[in-house]
């Protein structure tokens, strides 16, 4: 999933996390399909970004994990690096889970 700024949101996009206000109150449930009037209403309330599927730098989880693996190529076997790599991998799996 990825967060996009609300002014770039478009009709038809589907929320992959609930849209909340700054106090954390849920305004729209996860899975809601955005429409122009909904986007305008969120903007008026002051919501700045919403979460939709995917990531700007990697389209799929496999791609994200593959990139992660390559980033650790030179340092994987050193102290603490394996822990860091697996913590980030776990995070990416949660991020991409819909």
Judged by the rule CB under 8 A, the positions of this chain that interact with another protein are: 2-5, 8, 22, 46, 48-49, 51, 56-58, 64, 67-68, 70-75, 78-81, 83-88, 90-91, 94-95
**Nearest distance from C-beta of residue 91 to another protein, angstroms:** 5
Alpha-carbon torsion (16, 21, 26, 27), positive or negative: negative
DSSP 32-81: PBP-HHHHHHHHHHT--EEEESS-SS-SSHHHHHHHHHHHTTTTTTSTTH
Closest CB 57 distance from another protein, rounded Å: 6
Least Cβ distance, residue 36 to another protein (angstroms) = 20
């Amino acid at each position: 999933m990825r967060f996009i700024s609300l002014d770039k949101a478009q009709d038809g996009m589907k929320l992959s996390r609930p849209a909340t206000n700054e106090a954390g109150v849920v305004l729209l449930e996860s899975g809601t399909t955005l429409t122009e009037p909904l986007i305008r209403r969120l903007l008026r309330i002051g919501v700045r970004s919403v979460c939709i599927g995917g990531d700007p730098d990697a389209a799929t989880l496999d791609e994200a994990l593959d990139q992660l693996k390559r980033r650790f190529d030179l340092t994987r076997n050193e102290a603490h690096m394996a822990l860091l790599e697996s913590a980030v991998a776990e995070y990416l799996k949660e991020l991409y889970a819909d």
